[in-house]
Amino acid sequence: MTSHGAMDGERLRSALAGADLRVLLMVVFHLSGDRRWLEAPFQPRRDVNLIAAEDAGLAREEQDEIRAAAHALLSDAASTAAIGDPGDALMVEMMSVCLGERVPEEYAPMMREELGFTSRDVEWPSRRQPAAASQRRVLIVGAGASGIAMGARLGRLGIPYLIVERNSEVGGTWFENRYPGCGVDTPNHAYSFSFGGRYPWSRYFSPRGEIQDYLVRCADEFGVRPNIRFATAVTSATWDESTSRWNVGLATPEGDDTLTADFLVTAIGQFGLPSIPELDGIDRFRGASFHSAAWPDALDVTGRRVAILGTGASAMQIAPTIADRAASLTLYQRSAQWARPIPRYRDSMGADAQWLLASVPFYAEWFRFTMLWRYGDGLLRFLRKDPDWPHPDRSLNRINDRHRQEMTDHIASELAERSDLIPACVPTYPPYGKRILLDNGWYTTLTKLNVELVTDAIDHVDELGIATRDGSHRAADIIVYATGFQMTQMASRLNICGREGLRLDDAWADENPTAYLGISVPGMPNLFLMQGPNSGLGHGGSAIFLSECQARYITGLLLGMIDAEVSAIDVRREVHDDYVQRVDAEHEQLIWTHPGMSTYYRNRHGRVVSVMPWRLVDYWAMTHDATLDDYELTLRS
């Protein structure tokens, strides 16, 4: 192993004083290779908080000993790391010690990739790649996180690609959503790429501007930007059987255009098409009205009467941010949402923490691991229906019922001075049945004198405001539609036509999108979806993690095709149908098919179409090693 280089002793000592000792313990073991650091008394206590206590539950004597060892190792210019990639067996042991709980063996290969101990890239199956790759072209639609991940992987492999992006900059949903308070609900050290340079996140949960800046930097760092055509939207895509290529129509500032591509990858996700409610009189309103995803940059809410329709994720971020500036804030709620308290949600990453992440070997890797784990698969096993549970109206099982009580107690505590609001704020469905939200001041906002929560149904909108069915009318200067997105269209909104005239919107008719692994659709050769049907996350985890899984799978298919001189692949109908049946069967055991609620995860028939039922490690394994055996092949002539 190479030397990490000596570090300034006083700077190091200052930073180590506030280090996360779970993480620092792993650093010491990497550097020393001494197994005593994996044994008592240096074993951290289990802590399920998303932002766990830095002392790891260790006694002061053990804390000091770990810091002293780290200081000595990092101050020694001649010191080298004894352990780089720990391998699977040792990785399991290290993860288990770090967390204070047993980590199953199956997570070791996945986490070794996520922490950069082993490569996540697909490798060429033979040595003939350079010439063969240059003859095939990939068109990617969308330059958000998924498009950037896909472009970065293709660039490394030398496969030509072009990204078309309808906006003027990369970022996708993070470029478009600019409403006050917009931010990530996944810890940023997990909501980031497993490769590339470190980004100095200012907080554990960073605001939208930092995420957008991060994606802009990644597009540059990964060499993706030169391959992007901005302000270019796909208007159609038609498969040409005679050439085994996609003919793609584009709308550009200069007018309509066309191009051809051997492979088409849609990286537009599920959140690109805003949903506006159908309300009488909506066009008569004289004030400013818009969807939350189209918040005007120059809008000032100071002294204005603001109405927000919806109390989901966007509203819960907007309301606490603008309440003190608005003259009044009226929140129209169709159904209550469960919101989870997150202690230290707004905590910043101080200078010492930033220095440790940037300077200390293995520290950023294990810090990322702790965030990935706490916001990963741990919850999913508690979202299964217990057929013998006596209270299915309120919860799924004993643990889910405990979560319900904990969140109900939180609501009661936050609304102690406004107990009249509690009945309207406690949902009737089981916790986690809809997207779980983070309480970043939502309940406190509801208690403000200028804020009103309205639960009566809206009757109509008029020139001056909103009327509810109880006969009340509330004036407004601004109406914000925080009403979500049209989730079932996904890639079908691109006007895609595959084999024998099959249109994707017909294949997905009646709000029923399906795809093998969320990626491949029968009758759509050489079309690959990212963040497609049943590949969203309902139980936790990072959407960027999924993007990397899908990018690896797709590049694996492409390399196999190029190497075997295959011109087209089309997922076998039986492979697709079997996968969809397994998805549906698994969902029948999970919370999102609970009969007592509605959620955007489901279509109007009750089928779950958005999120996957699998653990992250399951999906990682399913997508890790792509095989052409699942596809019908057309050989190059």
Rounded Cα distance between 123 and 187, Å, is 31
| β-bridge partners, 162 | 139
Specify the pLDDT at position 377.
Answer: 92
Q: What is the pLDDT of residue 1?
A: 46
Give the H/E segment covering residue 305. Answer: strand 305-309
Q: Which of 167, 166, 159, 169 is nearest to 261 (CA)?
A: 159
On whether residue 386 sits in a domain, the answer given is no
- The total number of structural domains that make up the chain: 3
CA distance 19 to 70: 11
Nearest-angstrom CA–CA distance, 560 and 235 = 30
pLDDT tops 60 at residue 130: no
Pair (299, 265) in one structural domain: no
* 631 lies in the same domain as 505: yes
Predicted confidence (pLDDT) per residue in 217-238, tens digit: 999 999 999 999 999 999 999 9
d(CA 150, CA 519): 13
Domain membership of residue 59 (yes or no) is: yes
Q: Are residues 311 and 370 in the same domain?
A: no
Q: Per residue in 348-399, pLDDT tens?
A: 999 999 999 999 999 999 999 999 999 899 999 999 999 999 999 999 999 9
Same domain, 440 and 522: no
Phi/psi of residue 288, nearest 5 degrees: -80, 135
Widest CA span in the chain: 79
Kindly report the number of other CB atoms within 10 A of residue 285's CB atom: 20
> First-to-last CA distance in the chain?
49
pLDDT of residue 637: 73
**Which of these, 26, 23, 29, 31, lies nearest to 7 by C-alpha position?**
31
Domain co-membership, 245 together with 303:
no
Where residue 486 falls among pLDDT bands split at 50, 70, 90? confident
CATH number of the structural domain spanning residue 567: 3.50.50.60
* Pair 322, 425 in one domain: yes
- Condensed to tens digits (0 to 9), the pLDDT of residues 80-121 reads 899 999 999 999 999 999 999 999 999 999 999 999 999 999
The percentage of the chain sitting over the pLDDT mark of 90, rounded to a whole number, equals 86
Percent of the chain with pLDDT over 70: 98
Q: What per-residue confidence (pLDDT) applies to 131?
A: 62
Q: Do residues 493 and 512 share a domain?
A: yes
The pLDDT assigned to 91 comes to 98
Residue 130 lies in a domain: no
- With bands split at pLDDT 50, 70 and 90, how would you rate the model's confidence at 527? very high
Q: Is residue 246 part of a domain?
A: yes
Place of tokens 């329709």: 309
Smallest Cα–Cα separation from 25: which of 337, 370, 274, 268?
A: 370
Q: Which amino acid belongs to residue 477?
A: D
- One domain for residues 495 and 562: yes
Helix, strand, coil percentages, rounded to 5, for the chain: 35, 15, 45
How far apart CA 20 and CA 181 sit, in angstroms, is 28
Q: In 3-state terms, what secondary structure has residue 135?
A: coil
Residue 2 has pLDDT above 60, yes or no: no
Residues 113 and 202 in one domain: no
- Beta strands (DSSP E) in 149-213 are 161-164
Residues 394-424: tens digit of each pLDDT: 999 999 999 999 999 999 999 999 999 999 9
Confidence of residue 488 (pLDDT cuts 50, 70, 90): confident
The model's pLDDT over 537-579, given as tens digits with 9 standing for 90+, comes to 999 899 999 999 999 999 999 999 998 999 999 999 999 999 9
- 36 part of a folded domain: yes
Is 614 inside any structural domain? yes
Structural domain containing residue 318: 288-338+395-429+431-481
Task: Quote the CA–CA distance of 143 and 136 in Å, as a whole number.
Answer: 20
Give the separation between CA 396 and CA 14, rounded to whole angstroms.
47
The pLDDT of residue 124 is: 86
How confident is the model over 506-521, as pLDDT tens digits? 999 999 999 999 999 9
Average pLDDT of the chain, as a whole number = 94
pLDDT in tens, 95-105: 999 999 999 99
pLDDT tens readout for residues 574-602: 999 999 999 999 999 999 998 877 788 89
- 127: confidence class by pLDDT, cuts 50, 70, 90: low
DSSP secondary structure, 389-415, as one string: -S-TTT-SSHHHHHHHHHHHHHHHHHT
94 inside domain: yes
pLDDT tens track for 152-174? 999 999 999 999 999 999 999 99
Question: Residue 226: CB partners within 8 Å, gap ≥ 6?
Answer: none
| Band of pLDDT at residue 135, cut at 50, 70 and 90 | confident
Q: Write down the pLDDT at residue 421.
A: 97
Res 185: pLDDT: 87
Same-domain check for residues 111 and 156? no
Residues 437 and 299 grouped into a single domain: yes
Average of per-residue pLDDT across 245-263: 97
pLDDT, tens digit, 9 for 90 and up, residues 288-341: 999 999 999 999 999 999 999 999 999 999 999 999 999 999 999 999 999 998
Q: Which residue has tokens 């009318």?
A: 473
Final residue belonging to a domain, choices 463, 481, 499: 481
The pLDDT assigned to 595 comes to 83
Say if residue 415 is in the same domain as residue 325. Answer: yes
Angle of helix 87-99 versus helix 107-114 axis, rounded to 10: 80
- Whether residue 384 lies inside any domain: the answer is no
